[in-house]
Amino acid sequence: MFLIMSKRRLNDAVTMMEIEAPLIARKARAGQFIIFRLDEFGERVPLTIADSDAERGSVTIIFQAVGKATQLLSQKEAGDFILDFVGPLGKPSELEGYKHACVIGGGVGNAIAYPSAKELHNNGAIVDIIAGFRSKDIVILEDEMKAVCDHLYITTDDGTYGEKGFVTDKLKSLIDAGNHYDLVIAIGPVPMMKFVSKVTEQYHIKTLVSLNPIMIDGTGMCGGCRVKVGGKTRFACVDGPEFDGHEVDFDELMLRNAFYKDQEKAEYEETCRIGRGPAKVTGKE
Amino acid sequence: MAINTSLKKVPMPAQDPLVRNHNFKEVTTGYTPEMAVEEARRCLNCKTKPCVEGCPVNVHIPEFIHLITEEKFEEAFQKITETNSLPAVCGRVCPQESQCEARCVRGKKGEAVAIGRLERFVADWHREHASRPPEKAVTNGHKVAIIGSGPSGLSCAADLAKAGYDVTIFEAFHTGGGVLVYGIPEFRLPKAIVSDEINNLRAMGVNLQTDMVIGRILSVDELLEDLNFDAVYIGSGAGLPSFMGIEGEDLIGVYSANEYLTRSNLMKAYNMEYATPIRKSRAVAVVGGGNVAMDAARTAKRLGAEKVYIVYRRSFAEMPARKEEVEHAQEEQIEFLNLENPVRIIGDERGQVKGMEVIKMKLGEPDSSGRRRPVAIPGSNYELDVDTVIVAIGTTPNPLLKKTTEGLETDRWGCIYTKDNGATSREGVFAGGDAVTGAATVILAMGAGKTAAASIDAYIRHKKAALSRTEI
Ligand SMILES: Cc1cc2nc3c(=O)[nH]c(=O)nc-3n(C[C@H](O)[C@H](O)[C@H](O)COP(=O)(O)OP(=O)(O)OC[C@H]3O[C@@H](n4cnc5c(N)ncnc54)[C@H](O)[C@@H]3O)c2cc1C
Ligand SMILES: Cc1cc2nc3c(=O)[nH]c(=O)nc-3n(C[C@H](O)[C@H](O)[C@H](O)COP(=O)(O)OP(=O)(O)OC[C@H]3O[C@@H](n4cnc5c(N)ncnc54)[C@H](O)[C@@H]3O)c2cc1C
Ligand code: FES
């Protein structure tokens, strides 16, 4: 059982939690993730390690309630417990030796990109962040991101905050303005990662994307997370989740992520309707 | 007592095939005491005990069977557990027809004595009647870490705990048991049996820590150096699924058997109370001919598929699955497409499986494994109408521990190299089971765990003796 030490709502759909997991906190590196299972009846769901504090023994997760598992988790409070919390999984990002990086996040993807930006910044790189959101009311982590970069550019699709437009437009204009990036990291919805990679390919800039296929074990034993990279099948949980954006078959990833769409939609609607799932978790109610 | 001269085994009571292929309850319901005694009386109690030689852990077979004829069931259980710590499991899943029962003298004319069924009976009887949990041994103050809670890790833990070691098992999954919980289905091995075994270990003082992926959260070196374990046993299995490398394998509706079975067994997708999704299939092709393929096929049937095919490139004679599983699968209306091999998987515009192209095979000359090599018959291709494909063509050891443990040698398939006593190339690190042999059997994994437990005991005693000599 893992204690929820603190909880903060970042916007209507996105929640930040600090989980007590001292062994994971000691080892966690940027780019790695955990898998949680809320209770006996729950699914195993991967979430990026957004931050960790070895001294406090805590791991921070930031997640968007999109389906049953994340919805139920968002209903838990500080002092409650999560049944299973496994990690750190996946390969840490290799972020040393870069001079000028552009880190691009889309929506909740900003939470996943944040630790990479922080590590690049700590390694001495100049870091520009382009944080894309649909609209003003869902902007998250603005202060946190500001603290770990040299320039923060916020874009919104509807222009209600920051600049109006897509992150790819902003990236192009920054490159055209003479910024010589030696690394671009793009994390967010699959189409966004796909289009960022298309842009950087024209400019021959190394680009890392973080893939989010459906997972079970996170240790390489099921192959459910397989993705095609450079024409080869790779297991995202052990060979990734970060890959070279110019080699990833994004279209296949989008298809595979819809594997259980119909079933999951029904469950999500059920969860929203009754406010919580069939399972009870011990802890403070 | 007079010998029972029947040429046939006492039949095993089982659920009706057309009922059981819609539920996940155990297929066979087990002998009654009367049936067990009757079957036990078929044993000739041979002086030479050929059956014992056929058993990888040399269970005292004639002795325990004789005790059954005397209705001394608890004594029979004690006799078996002198050498086999998981009889309720082995009685159900061992390939007896190629081990103990293959050597049985009664099998020369008629059927062998049903050694497996008797083993299961005795173990189940004990489970129902055992009055007290196992005791905790006096501790000797030494700590051993075990990686993986499959049969090899569990049996190693049991022997070390009995010898007084302070044992901690680290398991990557959220539940202990290895393949016994995530791979072998409930209808063949009820999970309550596995959790009983684990509870017994807990009563003996073994500490099971789940959610611990060694190589990530802690390394083997950290276990030895920072956490002061005197030795480490690696029983991490062979969990990495192989794919065929053919066109269409990444389509929606293609699973590794590991994923399919994990969703159904460990994550209980068959139970509506659990959130786990699994495909609602109409027609399923399972590729392979081992136990894993049979389990996947029979699970698919139970989850509601109308048609389930086993696509296997050789014939029944070469099939590596237990004979009983093949027979049960046939009874449950699984269709066997032997001497056929997939060429590609065909998808629709949404990336969903809508068929599999298959080619017919014939058997040619024997290959290095001694089995006749299947060769394709040109032009015999046809399309099988399926919406799900499950790949069950084998697994290899997971490379994580090799990658994160310097000096741990493996062969080119990633199997950990060990000496006969289970010692690896790293001092204080032992290994056994599927991690060493590649995918094999429960009994071999269990035997390897026991061998390593004895070696670990010897290693720690030796180290202690050497240490006390230098201190003098
Ligand atoms: C390595 C990794 C790291 C991740 N990190 C984060 C994170 O830090 N924060 C966060 O909010 N999310 C993250 N995700 C995504 C998160 O795991 C999924 O959103 C999760 O499956 C939701 O579970 P659920 O039961 O709530 O929804 P489900 O019921 O599983 O799914 C709801 C909807 O989302 C779709 N979906 C399911 N799984 C995924 C997926 N993996 N990616 C995209 N869509 C999916 C379904 O088709 C469905 O439409 C990460 C995924 C991976 C693989
Ligand atoms: C579907 C199926 C059906 C089978 N049917 C039969 C049968 O009928 N009869 C028979 O004799 N055999 C059968 N087998 C084979 C048998 O189950 C295996 O040979 C046996 O389980 C091997 O035992 P093991 O302890 O070596 O490994 P496993 O049972 O594989 O256990 C290994 C454990 O280690 C854990 N682990 C792996 N890496 C790590 C890590 N880094 N850190 C922590 N934990 C880790 C895994 O999660 C797993 O729980 C079957 C196998 C399968 C898959
Ligand atoms: S999640 Fe199972 S192999 Fe990656």
DSSP secondary structure letters along B375-410 = EE-TT--EEE--SEEEE-S-EE--THHHHHSTT--B
Are the C-beta atoms of A214 and A225 separated by less than 8 Å? yes
Q: Count structural domains, chain B.
A: 3
Ligand 2 centre distance from Cα of residue B180 (Å): 7
- Cβ–Cβ contact B423 with A under 8 A: no
**Contact call for B173 and A258, based on CB within 8 A:** no
Judge if B297 and B331 occupy the same domain.
yes
Are the C-beta atoms of B101 and B51 separated by less than 8 Å? yes
Helix (H) / strand (E) element for B232: namely strand B231-234
Q: How far apart are CA B189 and CA A232, in angstroms?
A: 37
Judge if B329 and B445 occupy the same domain.
no
Judge if B251 and B384 occupy the same domain.
yes
- The CB density around residue B236, as the number of other CB atoms within 10 Å, is 32
CA dihedral defined by B292, B298, B301, B306, rounded to 10 degrees? 90
Q: How far apart are CA A98 and CA A77, in angstroms?
A: 40
Are the C-beta atoms of A190 and A254 separated by less than 8 Å? yes
C-alpha angle B296-B302-B308 in degrees, rounded to nearest 5: 60
3-state secondary structure of A80: strand
Q: Is the pLDDT of residue A274 over 60?
A: no
Task: Provide the 8-state DSSP code for B176.
Answer: S
**Longest Cα separation, chain B:** 80
Q: How far apart are CA A92 and CA A240, in angstroms?
A: 8
Query: Do the strands A58-64 and A14-20 form a parallel or antiparallel pair, or are they unpaired?
Result: antiparallel
- Cβ–Cβ contact B167 with A under 8 A: no
Of B216, B252, B273, the CB nearest to A27: B216
- The CB density around residue A284, as the number of other CB atoms within 10 Å, is 10
Judge if B318 and B426 occupy the same domain.
no
- Cβ–Cβ contact A91 with B under 8 A: no
A6 phi, psi to nearest 5 deg:
-155, 160
* B264 lies in some domain: yes
Question: Closest Cα partner for A174 from A138, A195, A200?
Answer: A200
Helix (H) / strand (E) element for B145: namely strand B143-147
pLDDT for res B405: 95
Q: Which of B374, B393, B412 is the last residue of a domain?
A: B393
In B, which residues are within 8 Å of A256 by CB distance?
250, 252, 351
pLDDT for res B135: 82
Nearest Cα of chain A lies from the Cα of B240 at a distance, in angstroms, of 5
Q: How confident is the model at residue A281 (pLDDT cuts 50, 70, 90)?
A: very low
Judge if B61 and B195 occupy the same domain.
no
* B137 lies in some domain: no
Nearest Cα of chain B lies from the Cα of A164 at a distance, in angstroms, of 33
Q: Is the pLDDT of residue A164 over 70?
A: yes
3-state secondary structure of B64: helix
pLDDT in tens, chain B (472 residues): 688 999 999 999 999 999 999 999 999 999 999 999 999 999 999 999 999 999 999 999 999 999 999 999 999 999 998 889 899 999 999 999 999 999 999 999 999 999 999 999 999 999 999 767 778 888 999 999 999 999 999 999 999 999 999 999 999 999 999 999 999 999 999 999 999 889 989 999 999 999 999 999 999 999 999 999 999 999 999 999 999 999 999 999 999 999 999 999 989 888 888 888 888 899 999 999 999 999 999 999 999 999 999 999 999 998 999 999 999 999 999 999 999 999 999 999 888 999 999 999 999 888 887 888 899 999 999 999 999 999 999 999 999 999 999 999 999 989 999 999 999 999 999 999 999 999 999 999 999 999 999 999 999 999 888 877 776 5
* B8 lies in some domain: no
Helix (H) / strand (E) element for B170: namely strand B166-170
Q: How far apart are CA B126 and CA B467, in angstroms?
A: 43
Tell me, what's the ipTM? 0.89
Ligand that lies nearest to the alpha carbon of residue A223, given by its number in the listed order: 3
Q: How far apart are CA B324 and CA B336, in angstroms?
A: 15
Helix (H) / strand (E) element for A220: namely none
Per cent of chain A over pLDDT 70 is 93
Say what the pTM is: 0.92
Find the helix packing angle between B33-40 and B115-129, rounded to 10°.
140
Query: Which residue in the block uniquely carries the two structure tokens 């289905």?
Result: B185
Q: Which residue's alpha carbon is nearest to atom 27 within ligand 1?
A: A67
The CATH number of the domain where B33 resides is what? Answer: 1.10.1060.10
The CATH number of the domain where B362 resides is what? Answer: 3.50.50.60
- Cβ–Cβ contact B223 with A under 8 A: no
End-to-end C-alpha distance for chain A, whole angstroms: 16
DSSP secondary structure letters along B72-83 = -HHHHHHHHHTT
B-proximal residues of A, 216-235, CB under 8 Å? 216-224, 226, 228, 233
Helix (H) / strand (E) element for A78: namely none
* B73 lies in some domain: yes
Are the C-beta atoms of B262 and A222 separated by less than 8 Å? yes
pLDDT digits (tens, 9 = 90+) for A107-152: 999 998 999 999 999 999 999 999 999 999 999 999 999 999 999 9
* B4 lies in some domain: no
Q: Which residue's alpha carbon is nearest to atom 14 within ligand 2?
A: B441
Of A69, A222, A233, the CB nearest to B258: A222
**Contact call for A220 and B172, based on CB within 8 A:** no
In B, which residues are within 8 Å of A217 by CB distance?
172-173, 262
Judge if B168 and B215 occupy the same domain.
yes
Q: How far apart are CA A61 and CA A40, in angstroms?
A: 21
- The CB density around residue A79, as the number of other CB atoms within 10 Å, is 13
- Cβ–Cβ contact B217 with A under 8 A: yes
Instruction: Retrieve residue A139's tokens.
Output: 């902007």
Q: Is the pLDDT of residue A282 over 50?
A: no
Are the C-beta atoms of B450 and B57 separated by less than 8 Å? yes
Nearest Cα of chain B lies from the Cα of A36 at a distance, in angstroms, of 10
A-proximal residues of B, 82-141, CB under 8 Å? none
pLDDT for res A256: 86
C-alpha angle B72-B74-B77 in degrees, rounded to nearest 5: 110
Q: Is the pLDDT of residue A275 over 50?
A: no
- Cβ–Cβ contact A85 with B under 8 A: yes
Judge if the upstream peptide bond of residue B277 is cis by omega within 30 degrees of 0. Answer: no
C-alpha angle A76-B174-A268 in degrees, rounded to nearest 5: 45
**Contact call for A88 and B216, based on CB within 8 A:** yes
The amino acid at residue B385 is D
Chain B, nearest residue to A279 by Cα? B273
Write the burial class of residue A55 (CB in 10 Å: 0-12 exposed, 13-18 middle, 19+ buried). Answer: exposed
Query: Do the strands B240-241 and B395-396 form a parallel or antiparallel pair, or are they unpaired?
Result: antiparallel
Judge if B377 and B408 occupy the same domain.
no
**Contact call for B262 and A27, based on CB within 8 A:** no
Query: Which residue in the block uniquely carries the two structure tokens 């990002």?
Result: A93
pLDDT digits (tens, 9 = 90+) for B354-374: 999 999 999 988 888 788 889
* B87 lies in some domain: yes
- Cβ–Cβ contact B216 with A under 8 A: yes
Cβ within 8 Å of residue A122, ≥6 positions away: A148
* B81 lies in some domain: yes
Ligand 3 centre distance from Cα of residue A214 (Å): 8
Judge if B157 and B50 occupy the same domain.
no
End-to-end C-alpha distance for chain B, whole angstroms: 62
Ligand 2 centre distance from Cα of residue A263 (Å): 30
* Residue B185 beta carbon below 6 angstroms from any ligand 2 atom: no
Q: Which of B342, B363, B393 is the last residue of a domain?
A: B393
Judge if B270 and B360 occupy the same domain.
yes
Judge if B409 and B317 occupy the same domain.
no
| Closest ligand 2 atom number to CA of residue B151 | 25
Q: Which of B101, B129, B157 is the last residue of a domain?
A: B129
| Structural domain boundaries, residue B264 | 243-393
Nearest Cα of chain B lies from the Cα of A42 at a distance, in angstroms, of 5
Q: Please state, in angstroms and as integers, the Cα–Cα distance from residue B29 to each residue in B71, B120, B121, B124, B242, following that order.
A: 20, 10, 10, 11, 34
- Mutation target to probe the B interface, by most B beta carbons within 10 A, among A216, A251, A269 is A216
Pick from A105-114, A157-166, A275-284: least confident: A275-284
Judge if B118 and B177 occupy the same domain.
no
Question: pLDDT averaged over chain A?
Answer: 90
* B6 lies in some domain: no
Cβ within 8 Å of residue B17, ≥6 positions away: B328, B331, B332, B333
Judge if B410 and B453 occupy the same domain.
yes
